[in-house]
């Protein structure tokens, strides 16, 4: 059945809440309003106020309460209304949830999911556009995922809910209703920690995730049609743990690598991907590892300025051509 990215997330929540009575949803406006983006629409009517809980505007409270519930055997799905405000819950996620299993010598678990609507391209300006995923990709005990397709949005959320460790789930706002595809009926999971080659190629590789995947696929198709280039596109899907095997295999296969993400360039996951390739596939490279990302600046409100600082298909195509010519 063809569904949108946002509907796929909604379906995953319905299915997991039906499957397991310990799963519940908590966040700002998730119940009466059905979520700011209607991700939780219909859940209150189906499961009632004990399992779909509106909270005050206090992200630290949301995650802190979720940690306590997870310790007692529940499986909370906690919504940050915008990923930008996840910083208010940083201590609870990084110092409490992520360390819990280690602090208890493996005798306790913290099975919670933090849903974080992220990403620019929607003219949300400073506090409604950020991609803060790199803040969490260096924290032992966390898992970090960033689906780019409706299929993976559903499959990764279901996997995250069933995981016994805390998972930060970045869902891209721009994809909510712009991405639609056939998603099979019935239960299925997308494995955490496994990347996927979305487009096979032999001349160079684009390694990406989240909102930048679709731009990368568009650029790859144009490069093939106009330049005769065979471009491989790898969707990381999971940022922690990274699928190093798939990354290195693609680098060894094509010899030229472009890493693309919407997060800022400095300190983004592209630096870690580049380091992995440099360490494990250096002798296979036929050119420099290139990165294309958002400029190191704040998210502007002005649409032309926002477009200027963000990667898009045109900029990715230009980088592909530059790397191919090296």
What are 162-203's pLDDT values in tens digits? 999 999 999 999 999 999 999 998 899 999 999 999 999 999
Q: Does the pTM of the predicted model rise above 0.85?
A: yes
What pLDDT is attached to residue 186? 85
Q: Residue 43: its pLDDT value, please?
A: 98
CATH architecture type of domain 196-324: 3-Layer(aba) Sandwich (3.40)
Task: Report which DSSP code applies to 134.
Answer: G
The confidence score (pLDDT) of residue 183 equals 95
The pLDDT of 21-26, averaged and rounded, is 98
Domains 2-182 and 196-324 share a fold: yes
Known active-site residue 261? no
pLDDT (0 to 100) of residue 185? 84
> Which residue among the candidates 128, 172, 199, 214 is catalytic per the annotation?
128
115 Cβ neighbours under 8 A, 6+ residues apart: 9, 27, 39, 77, 78, 79, 80, 157, 169, 171
Q: What percent of the chain has pLDDT over 90?
A: 98
pLDDT 10s digits, 96-119: 999 999 999 999 999 999 999 999
What average pLDDT does the chain have? 97
**Segments making up each domain of the chain, as ranges:** 2-182, 196-324
| pLDDT of the residue at 1 | 82
pLDDT at 70 over 90: yes
**Region 53-57: what's the mean pLDDT?**
97
What is the per-residue pLDDT across 203-261, written as a single tens digit (0 to 9) for each? 999 999 999 999 999 999 999 999 999 999 999 999 999 999 999 999 999 999 999 99
Architecture of domain 2-182 in CATH?
3-Layer(aba) Sandwich (3.40)
CA dist list (Å): 188 to 5, 74, 139, 166, 284: 16, 22, 28, 20, 36
């Amino acid at each position: 059945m063809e569904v949108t990215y946002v509907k796929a997330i909604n379906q995953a929540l319905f299915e997991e809440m039906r499957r397991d009575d310990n799963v519940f949803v908590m966040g700002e406006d998730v119940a009466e309003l059905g979520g700011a983006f209607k991700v939780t629409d219909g859940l209150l009517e189906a499961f009632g106020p004990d399992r779909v809980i509106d909270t005050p505007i206090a992200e630290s409270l949301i995650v802190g309460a979720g940690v306590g519930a997870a310790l007692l055997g529940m499986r909370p799905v906690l919504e940050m209304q915008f990923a930008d405000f996840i910083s208010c819950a940083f201590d609870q996620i990084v110092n409490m949830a992520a360390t819990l299993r280690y602090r208890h010598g493996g005798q306790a678990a913290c099975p919670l999911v933090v849903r974080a609507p992220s990403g620019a391209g929607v003219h949300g300006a400073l506090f409604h556009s950020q991609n803060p995923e790199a803040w969490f990709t260096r924290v032992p005990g966390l898992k970090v995922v960033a689906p780019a397709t409706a299929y993976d949005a559903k499959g990764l959320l279901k996997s995250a809910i069933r995981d016994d460790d805390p998972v930060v789930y970045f869902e891209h706002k721009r994809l909510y209703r712009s991405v639609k595809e056939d998603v099979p009926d019935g239960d299925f999971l997308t494995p955490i920690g496994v990347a996927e080659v979305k487009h096979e190629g032999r001349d160079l590789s684009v390694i990406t995730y989240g909102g930048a995947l679709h731009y990368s696929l568009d650029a790859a198709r144009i490069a093939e049609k106009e330049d005769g280039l065979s471009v491989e596109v790898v969707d990381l899907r999971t940022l922690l743990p990274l699928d190093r095997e798939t990354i290195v295999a693609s680098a060894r296969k094509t010899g030229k690598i472009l890493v693309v993400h919407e997060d800022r360039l400095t300190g983004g996951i592209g630096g870690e991907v580049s380091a992995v390739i440099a360490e494990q596939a250096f002798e296979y490279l036929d050119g420099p590892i290139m990165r294309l990302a958002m400029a190191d600046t704040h998210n502007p409100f002005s649409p032309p300025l926002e477009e200027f600082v963000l990667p898009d298909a045109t900029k990715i195509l230009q980088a592909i051509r530059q790397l191919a010519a090296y």
